Structure 1
Amino acid sequence: MKKRLIGLSVFAVLSLLVAGCGGGDDTSVYLVFDIGGRGDQSFNDAAATGLDRAVEELEIAASELEPTAGGENRDELLNLAAEDGAQLVFGVGFLFTDAIAAAASAYPDTNFGLIDGFVPDLTADSNLVSLGFAEHEGSFLVGAAAALKTHTNKVGFIGGVEIDLIKRFEAGFAAGARHINPGIEIDIKYISQPPDFSGFTDPAKGKEIGTGMYQSGADVVYHAAGGSGGGLFQAAKEHSEETGSHVWAIGVDSDQYLTAGAEFQPYILTSMLKRVDVAVYETIATLVDDSFEGGYRTFDLAIDGVGYATSGGHVADISDQLEDLKAQVVSGAIAVPQAP
């Protein structure tokens, strides 16, 4: 059972919560999306996939909340979920870090899951678990794929916002590309600088930067820009059609070959999979079987917490090389940097 409370004022949400939604599910889970919510074809959708699976397989009662356009009410939504009796509340994205730490302190009988953020001094007895990912490891593999597929010896990286988290994607991508070809040229650009986080929700700017990269000779471009990445796919399609020279885009977080639309599939080489869906589902499963623990959990390449997509078959010809590189990263033979 699921209910969605999106785009409402706090007063309106409270009214709906008081009314309730019926049902006999024993376990109540709230997923509080970041800006863009369900349907962003990226990070939020990956979290939603995990929630949907839990509803189907674990028979939980699930509810969704989405912040206002500027995200100013994240703390209010977390508090609303706890007040409604949720047993587990997720905050999707690092921008929830301060708000979820405060909520976990204010509601000690409610469990919380922070996706992609870090709160210090957590223990197994904490009511908050920080769910992190080895983005640099997955990005290493798609960087290698870019270097193996380029015909111009030039690739690109578009980051949404220039923060440490996104620079891990950059670092891994560049390391993977240079592992294959130390002399490769890598064009790196960010859409916005903090405290401006619009770089994650600006597909027009993503398209503008992507078009510029393709025009300057890059023929494979990877984005870690959330909702802005849709603009990159548009740029790849239009550049290929207008010039007759095929270029590639690489998606992020979820398998964007499957979500971006059929017209873009010929241009999506692969996606760096960040298994937010697995993190959400497995955390809910620990709640259901009464084994929830606070603290920290990292989803890395060794447990397939990150990886690369094979949909479309565009990397089939290099899959043996990518799998060999994966094995070397997992074994420690290759150490992937976390910063440029």
Structure 2
Amino acid sequence: MRRTSRLTRIAVGVASIALAATACGGTSSDKDSGSDGSKETKGLAIAYDIGGKGDQSFNDAAYAGLQKAQEKFGYKTADIEPTEGETDADKEQRLASLAKQGYNPVIGVGFAYGPAMEAVAPKYPDTTFGIVDSVVEGDNVASLVFAEEQASYLAGVAAAKATKSDTVGFVGGVDIPLIHKFQAGYEQGVKDTDPKVKVISQYLTQTAEEGGFSSPDKGKAAAEGQIEKGADVIYQAAGLSGQGVIEAAAKAKVWAIGVDSDQYQQEALAAYKDFILTSALKDVGGAVFALAESVHDGKPLTGVQTFDLKVNGVGLAESNPKMAEIEGLTDAVAEAKEKIIAGDIKVNTE
């Protein structure tokens, strides 16, 4: 089994492309056959998580990986939007449809695809499946997981250095183990850097179905509440809802910390960029591309593939030049990164 030793961080952009309809109300960039009736070569297909394309974060990072694969390998791709209130059966149908059409690999973006992938992957042994943020057992499944807690620790270091009120915030989209990793790393990074700094943490919803990852209004309200309590730096791990957190922070002229993608660079968030201190990066696009490349090379990745600081699978964005103006911030982040990689700092996951 070949493992990816190095990932290239991708600057995520949102592009609109003409797509033809496919199963479950999704979209595809390709037809089933060529003009001569033969089946066209098809490559990577991704099925989005809640929030879909355009979230300026998690899903858009996956789409950037798809774009890179499409450009490098010149094959047909597909990217499929989720439907509101869909069931595991709907996800199964979506994954099965992509496999039947000949796409390889087929990637479910998000832990919600776990049950569906467990059911579908064994039925298509010649197709490589990938799942982001979850572990699914299977000879033809690659589980693409990340050390989110490590990037979050670095975000906590930055927050502790940037705060003037000695109060910072964390907004999680949904109260689930995955987001607990973000919270745990962030809180540890803050406390290790400055024990006197208070962290206010909260979750928007208990379940994804309630809109925790897809409701900017919920994120905005939560951030406004934390700002009223004195928070002047707020880190969000909330998908599309995080845009509301960033908006509230900018309006109040306090710092926001983005997630997954470098949100300082996102065109849709340009109006707020002066208040996006940094972002905890999670190279979903790099992981998606790595799996596509392995399949293209005839050596498909399988099993658990972990992307951490050692392979640049996670990190902290440095795009905002104002980071360098905050005394001790850049050096503290660099030192913490070195210690995590060396094993001198063990970052909590819960």
TM-score normalised to structure 1 length: 0.90
Equivalent residue number for residue 149 of structure 1: 162
Change (3 A) 1:218 1:103: same
Following superposition, the deviation at residue 118 of structure 1 comes to 1.3
Query: Quick one: distance in 2 between partners of 1:71 and 1:285?
Result: 30
Is 1:180 aligned with 2:187?
no
- Work out the CA distance in 2 between the residues paired with 1:152 and 1:5: 52
Secondary structure at 2:285's aligned position in 1? helix
Question: For the residues of structure 2 that align with 1:31 and 1:255, how far apart are their CA atoms?
Answer: 21
Which of 312, 322, 334 lines up with 2:333 in the alignment? 322
Paired AA for residue 49 in structure 1: A
Name the CA distance, whole Å, in 1 between partners of 2:34 and 2:315: 39
1:196-238 per-position Cα deviation (integer Å, ceiling 9, x unaligned): 4510001001000001111110000000000000101110122
TM-score normalised by length of structure 2: 0.88
1:282 CA drift (Å): 0.8
Give the secondary structure class of the aligned counterpart of 1:64. Answer: strand
* Residue aligning to 2:13: none
Query: How many pairs were matched up?
Result: 326
Q: 2:171–2:234: 8 Å Cα contact kept in structure 1?
A: yes
Report what 2:61 is aligned to. Answer: 46
How far did 1:19 drift? 6.4
How far does residue 37 in structure 1 lie from its aligned partner after superposition? 1.7
Cα distance in 1 for partners of 2:166, 2:144 equals 36
* SS across alignment from 1:131: strand
Gaps of 5+ in 1: 241-246
- The farther-off stretch of 166-175 and 284-293 is 284-293
RMSD over equivalenced CA pairs, Å: 2.2
Q: 1:10 aligns with which of 19, 24, 27?
A: 24
Question: 1:152-301 residue pairs with structure 2 within 5 A?
Answer: 152-194=165-207, 196-240=209-253, 247-259=254-266, 260-301=268-309
Which consecutive unaligned segments of at least 5 residues does structure 2 have? 1-16
8 Å contact from structure 2 (residues 261, 281) kept in 1: yes
Distance change >3 Å, CA 248–CA 12, structure 1 → 2: closer
Are 1:309 and 2:317 counterparts? yes
Tell me whether 1:116 sits opposite 2:133 in the alignment: yes
* Residue number in structure 2 paired with 1:338: 349
Inter-partner Cα distance in structure 2 for 1:225 and 1:5: 30
Task: Please state how far the C-alpha of 1:75 moved relative to its aligned partner.
Answer: 1.5
State the distance in 1 between where 2:26 and 2:236 align: 37
Partner of 1:243: none
Matching of residue 90 in structure 1 with residue 107 in structure 2? yes
CA distance, structure 1, for counterparts of residue 255 and residue 193 of structure 2: 18
